[in-house]
A and B are shown apart, each in its own frame.
Chain A
Amino acid sequence: MLHSTLPKRLLSALGFIVAVAAIANHAASAQTLVVYNAQHESLTQAWADAFTRDTGIKVALRNGGDSELANQIVLEGAASPADVFLTENSPAMALVEGAGLFAPVAGATLAQVPPQLRPSSGKWVGIAARATVFVYRKGAFAADQLPLSLSDLAKAGWKGRWGASPAGADFQAIVSAYLLLNGEAATLDWLKAMKSNSVAFRGNGNVMRAVNSGQVDAGVIYHYYPFVDQAKTGDNSRNISLHYFKHRDAGAFVSISGGGVLASSKNAEAAQSFLRWITGKAGQEILRTGDSFEYAVGVGAASHPNLTPLSELEPPIVDPTRLNSRKVVELMTAAGLI
């Protein structure tokens, strides 16, 4: 008897739970702003929480990487549940923009960000920024041994000495800048040299860990990793020094994290106000005070005091809408890096 009733009860209980969960889920999605978030989850969550406090508008995040979410939005097309898309790098924004899926960003929002930190098209806007950095193990290089350009790392002397995370959108954004500045043939040559010279890791954090523990001498990542680690336990960045390429080199690329409103959004007004809020005073202040250590991009907004000021980094001048992520993937696939 027990055998026949127990599973039935269990099943009906489970069925009930599913039904409740489905209803709750549906009810939640009716009034909530859906953000496809490729930015650091903790940063966007901090933004979302504060935004909800200020405006009463609820925000739900779907987290993922830049390229994957951008391609997902393109696949979803007009059926996309997303209202807002936030990224770490520009190429993913350019991809969605190229597919014609963004609504123009409100003028008031654009006015909050200086022109060099947003695309000229006005289809999306910079929300934060990150700088390319050459990290190396303390003492591994004398000052005059440090590379002058990202291109130097293709030279024979660098074999096995540096690491990167070629599958990540961060590094691919740097490559997209290289492509824009140096052209397709030179980029493919550089990538092929990279295939034989570099050690591939998954994730910039792992590159930093490897440099820190002495597996490789150096790595090409973004600037904030060591700062974030120092703010936590510091375990993975104790032996790390930073070197910025500057001089408008591709290796000095500053990647603009973007935010845009989907044209298919049914909450366009709330979506625009979220973007305005992030690029405004309150949103940019979270970049200065929080533990993301990304650069603030708002007009007059200060970044975290520990960072080398953005104005000193001499980044190359690139139009972010022209960064071509698909071409980069094609070239990197051809070079055997991914």
Chain B
Amino acid sequence: MLASARSRPAPIDPVWESNPFRPVRSVPRWIIACATAIAALSLLPLLFVVGVTLGTPLGTIAGLLLRGRIAELLVNTGLLVALAVPLCVVVGAGLAWVTERTDLPGRKVWSVLAVAPLAIPAFVQSYAWTSLIPGLHGLWAAVFLSVIAYFPFVFLPTAAALRRLSPDVEEVAASLGLPPRAVFMRVVVPHLAPATAAGGLLVGLHLLAEYGLYAMLRFDTFTTAIFDQFQSSYNGPAANMMASVLIVLSLILLGMAARIGRHGRLARVGPGATRAAPRNRGKWTLILATLLPLTATVCALVVPLLTVFRWLALGDPAAWGLWRIASTLENTVLLGCIGATIAVVAALPVSWLSARMRGSLVRVMEGASYTAAALPGIVVALGLVTISLALVPSMYQTFATLLLAYLVLFLPRALAGLRTGFAQVPPELEWVAASLGIRPGTVFRKITLRLAAPSLAAAAALVFLAIVNELTATLLLAPIGTRTLATQFWALTGELDYAAAAPFAAVMIALSLPLSALLYWQSFRAAGR
């Protein structure tokens, strides 16, 4: 039933190669054209940065790049990613294992709690933790907060993949004489690797682009330094130079993830996991299994929620301005819904191609959108400001430009979700339908899209959450007078009015929680149960 489960990218399957219905041949040109256009669009800000860099005299470039500050930032950013991403993978995948494969009491609750931190913006995490421990700063603080803010990105796809993985496969491998360790390494790991790697890649890219989290921790990365330059000179050459370095860093990250993420066939015909996997029982496993989700929940949920409530209690409810909260909420929801829809629709062609086609074109398209998204919101926004002012002034400071920025920034979130979804739709079903004379559009709608629907919803929810939490691009691009919960929260914390900022944090969390729940539910529904 399941063809190959190799641990590294293997030569193309001969059966696949000789298959006359191989979908590579049947991909309509217009899908490729759409995908290319979308990838090109998301490259716009990146091309702007490269253009500025190329247009800068070499002497200036050297002066701006070959200085102590850049080395400092390189070390900081490099160490941050090298430490926080593996830790996120350990925590996220560990939690997935604990909640899916042990008989931990209340594992469903723990599983929900492991997704819930998605609802708390990273800058609210650092606002909470620096309120609790005012001296918190430096590399280790940054690593710690990065892990608690971002581990759900690894947990969610890994847990979903784990639940989808039918125990039959492992049992078949075991019945063929593989010891448990080997079953784990050769069957389980390869099945989880694409999902976990996609999650890890998202975490890495987010760390490169994160601003609010580190701004409060006195930890300088390229992104915080770019923001400093932006504040000092809006769109100077120094900021663009640092952005160029950031692009190189994200390319390195992408290259590493590409090595892990590509595997043989993972699709299966059938309803998902035929039954629940047997769960590990053992006292020590159980104790360890309780400690991990408990710690994660306390750090990533209890502390920030308590801080927000503390500030709510300290503040004066009469001064909150319910009308203002309501109008920012409305703006946020509107932008989130439209932005999420656009991102998911735009992600359809690229992700479908990436699940159905091999070759450098797809990889380039995918890489393009990932690289563009590694740029901090501020760089994307500055690029779009300059481009819109120069080429289409009527787009300047309109919702359209802001939504375009969201598309550029959050397309990878949609892509990551959809690609896994499409990869798990067996192409045979599409071929069978096609062989019965059904038009390709209908096949896509009735079979592919339907089977991938849960991941579609999950992708939309992920993008919505990202938009709710987005700060820097919104600050720059939002039409005059438009405020979101995040920008309002940031403005108030900037004025040190933590009590007045608290209701906005609370509303952000309240708005995001049901979406995290939806995300949770949809991810696991994909497992067929």
Contact = CB atoms under 8 A, between A and B. Distances in A.
Contact of B216 (A4, A18, A202, A229): A202
B338 A17 contact: yes
Interface string A28-68: 11001010000011100000000000000000111111011
Nearest to B69: A336
Contact of B481 (A28, A228, A235): A28
A67 B67 contact: no
Interface in B218-256: 218, 220, 224-225, 227-236, 238
A72 B399 CA distance: 18
Query: Chain A contact residues (Cβ within 8 angstroms of B): what range?
Result: 35 or more
B399 A21 contact: yes
Contacts of B479: 25
B309 to A, nearest CB: 14
Given A21-B334, A25-B479, A203-B494, A79 B231 contact: no
A228 B398 contact: no
Nearest to B215: A202
Contacts of B69: 333, 336, 338
A190 interface: no
Contacts of A172: 232
A194 to B, nearest CB: 14
A200 interface: yes
A18 B338 contact: yes
Contacts of B500: 232
B235 A64 contact: no
B341 A10 contact: yes
Contact of B337 (A14, A62, A63, A209): A14
A263 interface: no
B135 A215 contact: yes
Contacts of A18: 338, 399
A205 B399 contact: no
Contact of A205 (B233, B389, B495): B495
Nearest to B137: A215
A61 B481 contact: yes
A329 B233 contact: yes
A42 B495 contact: yes
A70 B235 CA distance: 11
A79 B393 contact: yes
B224 A338 contact: no
A3 B494 contact: no
Query: Chain B contact residues (Cβ within 8 angstroms of A): what range?
Result: 35 or more
Given A10-B341, A213-B135, A228 B496 contact: yes
Contacts of A14: 337-338, 341
B341 to A, nearest CB: 6
Contacts of A332: 232
A71 B449 contact: no
Contacts of B397: 62, 81
B385 A75 contact: yes
B230 A68 contact: yes
A167 B399 CA distance: 29
Contacts of A60: 480-481
Nearest to A22: B399
Interface in B66-81: 67-69, 72
**Which of B215, B229, B233 neighbours the largest number of chain A CB atoms within 10 Å of its CB?**
B233
A67 B480 contact: no
Contact of B389 (A40, A76, A199, A208): A76
B453 A3 contact: yes
A236 interface: yes
Interface of B: 64, 67-69, 72, 130, 134-135, 137, 215-216, 218, 220, 224-225, 227-236, 238, 314-315, 334, 337-338, 341, 385-386, 389, 393, 396-399, 445-446, 449-450, 453, 475-476, 479-482, 491, 494-500
**Top 8 nearest A-B pairs by Cβ distance?**
A71-B234, A213-B134, A167-B228, A205-B496, A60-B481, A336-B69, A329-B232, A338-B228
16 contacts: A21-B334, A68-B230, A72-B234, A75-B386, A76-B389, A79-B393, A81-B396, A199-B218, A200-B220, A203-B215, A212-B134, A233-B314, A233-B315, A235-B498, A333-B238, A338-B69
